[in-house]
Amino acid sequence: MNISKIILSIAFAAIAAFSAEVIKVGATPEPHASILNLVKGDLAKAGYELKVVEFTDYVTPNEALESGELDANYFQHLPYLESFNKEKGTHLVNAGGIHVEPFALYPSKNSKKKVKSLANLKKGATIAIPNDPTNEGRALLLLQAAGLIKLDPKSGITATPIDITENPKKLKFKELEAASLPRILQDVDAAAINGNYAIPAGLNASSHGLFVENASSPYVNVIAVKAGNEKSAKIQALVNALKSEKVKNWIKGKYTKGEVVPVF
């Protein structure tokens, strides 16, 4: 290639980079940001510059999406999104489901409290659960599926401890922000933890969980956008890039024990 062709190639690349439309997406670090970063190159080829903004909580990325600071976010399941809209009056919708992170009950990291099975949980044990409405309900439904409690059938996915009708082990519940749960495993007997907080803490549902959510979980993690933007070209490009064989194979290769499961 001669010098003039090299210069032209560099110039065209610079023009393409300058004219690329930005897609700004909020995400929690694992696995969401990692998955998004995987498709940056694919989107660049389609004329989009993907900017990933990391968050460590569940509220701020939805507020940023509602206000227009973000084009999309990727961290939450659909029941949480619907609950958030109802509570906060936001207008967020699902643009596409990407994966499920099996929810699990993890034992204490304190050697004096640690147990190897549900049967070994002592009476009066303290269980930490998320304090946001849908993840709290999800945790209690998990404990019900494990046979530890029974809930009022009317409570559904927004159950809280006051909806417990049977609690034979007299379990106590500590309601905390989801992000803090891995850090307090030393102080409680067990904790129900979301995958995107369990994974960075070195917790694996199938290896470490006392009880793991069923594979038919309705809690699919979605690309969320402001209502009216779900059909836009750049959001469709983002969703299509994430629903690729490349991403599916990467997830299966990275999370070999089923910590993250693609749904496409």
Closest CA to 101 of 116, 85, 80, 87: 80
Residues 21 and 69 reside in one and the same domain: yes
Other C-beta atoms closer than 10 Å to the C-beta of 247 total: 20
For position 7, what pLDDT does the model report?
54
Q: Which domain holds residue 60?
A: 3-101+219-262
Domain shared by 96 and 108, yes or no? no
- Enumerate the β-bridge partners of residue 26: 53, 73
* Pairing of the two strands 172-176 and 126-130: parallel
Same domain as 232, residue 154: no
203 and 112 in a single domain? The answer is yes
Distance CA 258, CA 206 (A): 7
Same domain? 115 vs 43: no
Q: What is d(CA 38, CA 241) in angstroms, rounded to the nearest whole number?
A: 9
- The radius of gyration of the chain from alpha carbons, rounded to an integer in Å, stands at 21
Enter the DSSP assignment of 68: T
Question: The tokens 């999800």 sit on which residue?
Answer: 138
Nearest partner of 134 among 191, 100, 84, 183, judged by Cα? 84
Q: Can you read off the two tokens belonging to residue 247?
A: 């991403």
User: Is the domain of 83 the same as that of 176?
Assistant: no
Return the beta strands (E) in 28-139 as ranges.
48-54, 72-77, 92-100, 104-107, 126-130
Task: Tell me the two tokens of residue 173.
Answer: 């519940």
Asked if 32 and 160 sit in the same domain, the reply is no
What CATH number is attached to the domain comprising 40? 3.40.190.10
* 108 and 34 housed in the same domain: no
Ranges under pLDDT 70 in the chain: 1-19, 215-216
Check if the beta carbon of residue 222 is closer than 8 Å to that of residue 101.
no
Against a cut of 0.75, is the pTM above it? Answer: yes
**Where among 197, 212, 227 does a domain terminate?**
212
Q: How far apart are alpha carbons 181 and 203 in whole angstroms?
A: 12
Domain count, the chain: 2
97 lies in the same domain as 108? no
